[in-house]
Chains A and B, each alone.
Chain A
Amino acid sequence: MSALPLHRRHGVRLSFRYLIAALLVVIFCFPVYWLFIISFKTPDEIFAFPPVWYPESIQFSNYKVLFKDGDAATVGNSLILASVSTFFAMIFGTIAAYSLVRFKTGGENLAVWIISQRMMPPVAIVFPIFLLYVWLGWVDSYFGLIILYTAFSLPYVIWMMRGYIEDIPLELEESALVDGCTRWEVLWKVVLPMARSGLFATAVFTFIFAWNDFLFALVLTRTEVTTYTVQVTHYFGGQSNFWAKIAAMSVLGTIPVFFTVAVMQRYLVRGISMGAVKG
Chain B
Amino acid sequence: MSDLKITNLHKHYGAFHAVKGIDLDVPSGEFTVLVGPSGCGKSTLLRTIAGLEETSSGSIEIGGKDVTWARPRDRDIAMVFQNYALYPYLNVKDNIAFGLRARKFAEAEVEKRVARAAEMLGIGHLLTRFPRELSGGQRQRVAIGRAIVRDAILYLFDEPLSNLDAQLRDDMRVEIKRLHKELKRTMIYVTHDQIEAMTLADRIVLLRDGLIEQQGTPLDLFERPKTRFVAGFLGSPKMNFVPATLTAAGVKLADGTALELPGRSGLKAGQAVMLGLRPQHIAMAGTHLAKGHVRVPVVIELVQPTGSRVQATMPLGGTSIIAELGAHDVSRPGEKAEIDIDMTRAVLIDTTSDKII
Chain A residues at the B interface, C-beta cutoff of 8 Å: 169, 171-172, 174-182, 185, 189-190, 193-194, 196
Contact = CB atoms under 8 A, between A and B. Distances in A.
Nearest to B88: A194
A177 B79 CA distance: 10
Contact of B87 (A172, A182, A185): A172
A169 B83 CA distance: 9
Given A193-B89, A196-B89, A181 B102 contact: yes
21 contacts: A169-B83, A171-B85, A172-B85, A172-B87, A174-B72, A175-B79, A175-B81, A175-B85, A177-B72, A178-B77, A178-B78, A178-B156, A179-B73, A179-B103, A179-B150, A180-B99, A185-B102, A193-B87, A194-B87, A194-B88, A194-B89
A244 B204 CA distance: 84
Given A178-B79, A179-B146, A180-B102, A169 B85 contact: yes
B52 A177 contact: yes
Contact of B73 (A169, A181, A194, A196): A181
Interface in B52-109: 52, 71-73, 75, 77-79, 81-83, 85, 87-89, 98-99, 102-103
A179 B98 contact: yes
Chain A contact residues, majority secondary structure? helix
Chain B contact residues, majority secondary structure? loop
B103 A180 contact: yes
B50 interface: yes
Nearest to A185: B102
A176 B79 CA distance: 10
B149 to A, nearest CB: 10
Contacts of A177: 51-52, 71-73
Nearest to B156: A178
A179 B83 contact: no
Interface residues of B, number: 24
B89 A174 contact: no
A53 to B, nearest CB: 50
Contact of A176 (B77, B78, B89, B102): B102
Given A171-B81, A171-B83, A185-B102, A178 B89 contact: no
A196 B87 CA distance: 13
A148 to B, nearest CB: 35
Contacts of A194: 87-89
A178 B83 contact: no
Contact of B98 (A171, A176, A182): A176
A180 B85 contact: no
Given A179-B103, A180-B103, 15 more contacts: A171-B82, A174-B72, A174-B79, A174-B85, A176-B98, A178-B73, A178-B77, A178-B79, A179-B73, A179-B99, A179-B102, A185-B102, A193-B87, A194-B88, A196-B89
Contacts of A172: 85, 87
Contacts of B81: 171, 174-175
A175 B77 CA distance: 11
B90 to A, nearest CB: 8
Nearest to A174: B52
A178 B51 CA distance: 8
A180 B73 contact: yes
Contacts of B146: 175, 179
A172 B98 CA distance: 12
Contacts of A181: 73, 102
B349 to A, nearest CB: 40
A181 B156 CA distance: 17
B42 to A, nearest CB: 17
Interface string B29-67: 000000000000000000000111000000000000000
A177 B85 CA distance: 12
Contacts of B103: 179-180
Given A171-B81, A171-B82, A185-B102, A178 B87 contact: no
B82 A190 contact: no
A168 to B, nearest CB: 10
Nearest to B47: A174
A270 to B, nearest CB: 13
Nearest to A173: B85
Contacts of B75: 178
A196 B71 CA distance: 27
B82 A178 contact: no
B87 A190 contact: yes
Contacts of A189: 98, 102
Contacts of B77: 178
Nearest to A181: B102
Contacts of B79: 174-175, 178
B92 to A, nearest CB: 15
A235 B297 CA distance: 107
